[in-house]
């Protein structure tokens, strides 16, 4: 297998509410960093675009740190033309505050309403907006009806594969060392049984490379 160029997103994004507060989620980055490490270990060139985490950048991986969903969108748009395989495992904020004051918001009442607006969908922009023609692997974090929601994402976002995890479980998914995932393809679904994220990552990287061969892109 020739060396491929991987673009991998990982971690959470942080959306500021004011200078001292922000919205984020429980992603530790472990899944995405394991993917980057696995691809680099197999001899591929890897660019890791990551939101804030406490993890060390894996050896041999190029690194682009970002903070917000918009910064991740811009970084992926700029880098996608140089990738053969894109794996978007980041937990990107779907909404952000409409406006961010430059001073701390003071307590004024018992309730407060925060107005949010949608962020741009990076995975959903890959094909049409960014013109990405390589192998596109998305993730789906679901708490119920995991397979059917994930299959919907596969079709709407024109992915070659969706890695779906059940984030209602505490033993896998967000901030766990293990994961158990469904690999959703256009014509079938495969189960990767519960294992260390490092092990799951190797299998995902291998499957993505197989998709390159299957499409005759290598």
Is 90 a binding residue for ligand PMT by CB under 6 A? The answer is yes
Is 49 a binding residue for ligand PMT by CB under 6 A? The answer is no
Applying CB under 6 A, which part among 39-47, 107-115, 166-174, 184-192 lies near ligand PMT?
166-174
Three-class SS of the chain: CCCCEEEEEECECCEEEECCEEECCCCCCHHHHHHHHHHHHCCCEEEEEECCCCCCCCCCCEEEECCCHHHHHHHHHHHHHHCCEEEECCECCCEEECCCCCCCCCCCCCCCCCCEEECCCHHHHCCCCCCCCCEEEEEEEECCCHHHHHHHHHHHCCCCEEEEEECCCCCCCCCCCEEEEEEECCCCEEEEEEEEHHHHHHHHHHHHHHHHHHCCCC
Is 69 a binding residue for ligand PMT by CB under 6 A? The answer is yes
Is 173 a binding residue for ligand PMT by CB under 6 A? The answer is yes
Q: Tell me how far apart the alpha carbons of residues 193 and 182 are, in angstroms, rounded to a whole number.
A: 9
Is 145 a binding residue for ligand PMT by CB under 6 A? The answer is no
> Which parts of 6-25 interact with ligand PMT (CB under 6 A)?
9
Q: Tell me how far apart the alpha carbons of residues 166 and 158 are, in angstroms, rounded to a whole number.
A: 21
Least Å from the CB of residue 58 to ligand PMT = 14
Which residue has the CB atom at the shortest distance from ligand PMT? 122
Work out which of 140, 154, 208, 212 binds ligand PMT, going by CB under 6 A. 140
Is 165 a binding residue for ligand PMT by CB under 6 A? The answer is yes
CB of 89 or CB of 209, closer to ligand PMT? 89
Is 29 a binding residue for ligand PMT by CB under 6 A? The answer is yes
Least Å from the CB of residue 103 to ligand PMT = 28
Least Å from the CB of residue 166 to ligand PMT = 10
Binding site for ligand PMT (CB under 6 A): 9, 27-31, 69, 88-92, 94, 119, 121-123, 138-141, 153, 165, 167, 173-175
């Amino acid at each position: 297998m020739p060396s491929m160029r991987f673009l991998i997103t990982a971690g959470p994004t942080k959306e500021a509410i004011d200078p001292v507060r922000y919205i984020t989620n429980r992603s530790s980055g472990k899944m995405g960093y394991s993917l980057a490490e696995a691809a680099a270990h197999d001899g591929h060139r890897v660019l890791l675009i990551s939101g804030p985490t406490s993890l060390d950048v894996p050896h041999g991986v190029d690194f682009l740190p970002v903070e917000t969903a918009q910064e991740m969108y811009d970084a992926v748009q700029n880098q996608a033309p140089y990738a053969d395989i894109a794996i978007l495992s980041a937990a990107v904020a779907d909404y952000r505050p409409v406006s961010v004051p430059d001073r701390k918001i003071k307590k004024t009442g018992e309730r407060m309403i925060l107005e949010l607006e949608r962020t741009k969908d990076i995975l959903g922009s890959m094909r049409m907006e960014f013109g990405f023609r390589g192998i596109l692997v998305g993730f789906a974090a679901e708490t119920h009806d995991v397979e059917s929601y994930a299959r919907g994402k596969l079709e709407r976002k024109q992915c070659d594969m969706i890695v779906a995890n059940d984030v209602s479980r505490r033993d896998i998914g967000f901030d766990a060392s293990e994961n158990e995932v469904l690999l959703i393809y256009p014509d079938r679904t495969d189960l990767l049984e519960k294992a260390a994220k490092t092990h799951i990552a190797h299998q995902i990287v291998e499957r993505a490379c197989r998709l390159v061969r299957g499409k005759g892109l290598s």
